[in-house]
Amino acid sequence: MRGGAIFPIRLRLSKRGKIRWISHRDLARAFERALRVERLPLAFSEGFSPHPKVSFGLALPVGAESESEYIDVELTEEVGLEALPGRLTSALPEGISVTGAVPLAELAPALQEAVTAVSWMVEVRSIDPAAPLTPEGFASLVGEALSRPTMETMRRRKGREVIDDIRPVVRRIDVVGAGPGGVWCEMELSTQPRSAKPGEVLAAIAAAAGASGEGHEIVGIVEGDVLRTHQWIERDGARCEPLDADPRVRALEVRAS
């Protein structure tokens, strides 16, 4: 819609259960389909092949669950945001729920640029059933790894494997306690200027603590269930979740008056 008003909104999603095995691209397709099913007044790009103006945040690793996925959508008309989460959830595959919707400031920074840290709950398991991992044992591995100046792990970049130091990415790792399958920990990882997946952090912990065999392949510990709990936008010494970062103040004031 050339020259027309644009009303951007930001949505928060959860992704739980079997649906965690679909890819980021499949999630995008499912969400765009839900927007069309609900007949929302989408803004479209111009050109030979117009597409809805929908911007997705940081990709979630396949197999991980999340309570904090975010999507920005541009609309050509204002819609009722209180009912929107329920409407979209009913049009999405089972396991994906829209849990929040807010009006977004125009020209707000893109999610992939704005988010600076993410929080995870990660289950860590022992590969050897005869030697189960304990909270104390894993805390020792973490302490050993974080005491080193580097934490190296093998990563794939542009089709080839490279050894990378991810120590600057790791902000904190707190052991929470034992669960039925292993030990649970909380990780907070930076996303700027680069990021790492929880499994890559575990590989680096195993290597740094001497829990691996040859090279950087995990032998002693392995990633179990993974849940992304928060994404954070940090500015001027403060941080908030993406729903609170860039509200469209004018829209909020009009609604309140």
Query: Which architecture does CATH list for 7-104?
Result: 2-Layer Sandwich (3.30)
Q: Is the pLDDT of residue 109 over 90?
A: yes
Q: Would the CATH topology of 7-104 be identical to that of 115-233? A: yes
Q: Which pLDDT belongs to residue 3?
A: 54
Q: How confident is the model at residue 214 (pLDDT cuts 50, 70, 90)?
A: very low
Q: How far is CA 31 from CA 4, 6, 13, 49, 90, in A?
A: 24, 20, 10, 19, 11
For residues 184 and 208, give the distance between their C-alpha atoms in angstroms, rounded to a whole number. Answer: 20
For residues 77 and 118, give the distance between their C-alpha atoms in angstroms, rounded to a whole number. Answer: 32
pTM summary value: 0.87
Say which range, 25-34, 60-69, 126-135, has the weakest mean pLDDT.
Answer: 126-135
Q: Is the pLDDT of residue 105 over 50?
A: yes
Mean pLDDT (whole number) for 222-245: 95
Q: Which fold has domain 115-233?
A: Alpha-Beta Plaits (3.30.70)
Residue boundaries of the structural domains of the chain: 7-104, 115-233
